[in-house]
Amino acid sequence: MSVPMLETCGLKKYFKVKNGLLHAVDGVDLRIEKGETLGVVGESGCGKSTLGRTVLQLIKPTDGTVKFQGKEITGLSRHELKRLRRDMQIIFQDPYSSLNPRMSVQELIAEPILINKVCRSHSDTFRLVAELMDTVGLDQRLSGSYPHELDGGRRQRIGIARALALNPQFVVCDEPVSALDVSIQAQILNLLMDLQEERGLTYMFITHDLSVVRHISKNIAVMYLGKCVELCPSKELFKNPLHPYTQALLQAVPIPRSEMKYKEMEVLNGEVSSPVNPKPGCRFAARCKYCRPECREGELPLKDMGEGHWVSCRLYETGTEGGDAT
């Protein structure tokens, strides 16, 4: 098998908080092949951004490993990480807050090029900036404009140009279209897909909205309170969701079926567990209508259900009767 672009093993990130340890990411195993997209979905606070940042080593993991192109990158020195940053970039949800309002479009795109000394001369830098503006579909006439003069879509194009400036191989897209109007969302998604094809990019695409990742992801990982509860090819997830939480999430995707809303309410009843000092057992137990006493005990690793479909749920344990949660 080829070396994956990215692989995490038992990745954990805990934060010390007033009343204990907050398990933001709690033992996540993922693999993304070169040129593919892994969608990471889940509700607000389930640890998606923390996972993305920990993968990029922007924050230090509490435990576990991250391998980039087969090389372990957890524990690299600052200098080594700086080199690695060229290959691993991030696109943020809200380009407005991540862009310096006092810098023009041209200056914003030139910034990473200048910091990393990519070009030998100023004319080379400005040539590269112009090229990047073309690549992301920004009109050259906008080079002197400031972020507040542009709409959300154009601002996100600046964010994408900045991420591409160092010619990365792997990009974490953290809710890159969530702040945009639906019509502009499609344009940015198309741009990201075109760039992937042209440059062979590998994406980890984070979103709370399953419909956004449906068509762009090869595989999708569903997260719930720091854990990956289901992982499988995108088509399979929409056709045959196994985890009760995934089923609930899918029912929230707008599909014109009148009974959907009712089922969603039914499954997502109950209190949301706290990620601080979490109780043993399944994190979704409190909200799951299939919950049984054994669901509140022990750890449950992802189980291989065949065809690349993995799920972590007692309903699918060997020997369990009535294991169909659909």
Ligand X SMILES: Nc1ncnc2c1ncn2[C@@H]1O[C@H](COP(=O)(O)OP(=O)(O)OP(=O)(O)O)[C@@H](O)[C@H]1O
Phi, psi at 119, each rounded to 5°? -110, 155
- Closest approach of Cβ 280 to ligand X, in Å? 19
Stretch binding ligand X (CB under 6 A), from 15-23, 60-68, 212-220, 254-262: 15-23
Q: Can you state the percent helix, strand and coil of the chain, rounding each to 5?
A: 35, 20, 40
- Closest approach of Cβ 213 to Mg ion, in Å? 14
Altogether, the residues listed in the chain come to a count of 326
Binding partner at 46 among ligand X, Mg ion, none, C-beta below 5 to 8 Å by kind: ligand X
- 226 in helix, strand or coil? coil
- Closest approach of Cβ 40 to ligand X, in Å? 9
Of 89 and 106, the one with the shorter C-beta distance to ligand X is 89
Binding positions for Mg ion, 168-207, rule CB under 5 A: none
CA distance 24 to 167: 30
CB neighbours of residue 319 within 10 Å = 5
Of 22 and 204, the one with the shorter C-beta distance to ligand X is 22
Interface residue with ligand X among 11, 28, 46, 191 (CB under 6 A) is: 46
CA distance 248 to 168: 36
Among residues 50, 289, 273, 305, the alpha carbon closest in space to that of 281 is found at 273
- Closest approach of Cβ 264 to ligand X, in Å? 19
End-to-end C-alpha distance for the chain, whole angstroms: 34
Binding partner at 17 among Mg ion, ligand X, none, C-beta below 5 to 8 Å by kind: ligand X
Of 96 and 290, the one with the shorter C-beta distance to ligand X is 96
Binding partner at 244 among ligand X, Mg ion, none, C-beta below 5 to 8 Å by kind: none
H helix runs in the chain, sequence order: 48-55, 78-85, 95-98, 105-115, 122-135, 152-164, 182-199, 210-213, 234-239, 244-252, 260-267
Residue 18 is classified by DSSP as T
Stretch binding ligand X (CB under 6 A), from 1-9, 14-22, 231-239, 315-323: 14-22
Binding positions for ligand X, 186-245, rule CB under 6 A: 208
Residue 234 is classified by DSSP as H
Using CB under 5 A as the criterion, what x/- string covers residues 73-102 for binding Mg ion? ------------------------------
Binding positions for ligand X, 100-119, rule CB under 6 A: none
Q: Is 29 exposed, middle or buried (0-12, 13-18, 19+ CB in 10 A)?
A: middle
Q: How many residues bind ligand X (CB under 6 A)?
A: 14
Decide: is 49 part of the binding site for Mg ion (CB under 5 A).
yes
Q: At what angle do helices 152-164 and 105-115 cross, to 10 degrees?
A: 20
Of 109 and 189, the one with the shorter C-beta distance to Mg ion is 189
- Closest approach of Cβ 205 to ligand X, in Å? 13
Interface residue with ligand X among 3, 17, 114, 255 (CB under 6 A) is: 17
- Closest approach of Cβ 220 to ligand X, in Å? 15
State the amino acid at position 24 in one-letter form: A
Tokens 């198309």 sit on residue: 190
Binding site for ligand X (CB under 6 A): 15, 17, 22, 24, 42, 44-50, 208, 275
Binding site for Mg ion (CB under 5 A): 49
